[in-house]
Amino acid sequence: MGTKSREVIWGSQIRGAKMSAEKARQRATEAVREADRAEAHAWSVRMEGYGGPAQPSPTIEQCLNGGLGWLEVECNRCKSRASLPLNAIRRPRDTPIWKLEAALKCRSCRKGRYAPPVHMIKLTARQEMSLWNAALRPARSKFNFLRP
């Protein structure tokens, strides 16, 4: 059997099978996105409504994938709030977001080596508070403060 007749017999079946594989993969990607969004949202509601517990939490990647890419935080002392863009955080994407809390410091409340803790409020799809800025950020370069 020549290449040509083989193409006639099998070609369309192969193309069809490839197409359904592709479609199934798209549906799977969508399902993961939906699950990530639901999980990030559930965590956010728990944080906002009950103030925690922060653990377990979704990862940076899950929040981003689910479309909730902003973390709102509040300084425990001066109560100033800021929105932190999760896609700018220099941490592995599989880092659970509760692990970020300990690394966040309010710059205006800092005294020497001591800085009062900052706590996480919720996740949002857009920036709702002022950007995590100089007031809340140590002098070192952008977002490096997130490295312990």
Q: Which of 8, 28, 31, 78 binds Zn ion (CB under 5 A)?
A: 78
Q: Which of 75, 89, 100, 120 binds Zn ion (CB under 5 A)?
A: 75
Measured CA to CA, the distance from residue 66 to residue 31 in angstroms comes to 10
Query: Within its chain, how far is the Cα of 137 from the centroid?
Result: 20
Amino acid at 43: W
CB of 109 vs Zn ion, minimal distance in Å:
3
Residue with smaller CB distance to Zn ion, 39 or 74: 74
Q: Which of residues 109-128 bind Zn ion (CB under 5 A)?
A: 109
Q: Does residue number 46 form part of the binding site for Zn ion (CB under 5 A)?
A: no
Cβ-based burial of 30 (10 A; exposed 0-12, middle 13-18, buried ≥19): exposed
Q: State the CB neighbour count (10 A cutoff) for residue 26.
A: 10
Kindly state the number of chain residues that form the binding site for Zn ion, as judged by CB under 5 A: 5
Per CB under 5 A, residues contacting Zn ion are 75, 77-78, 106, 109
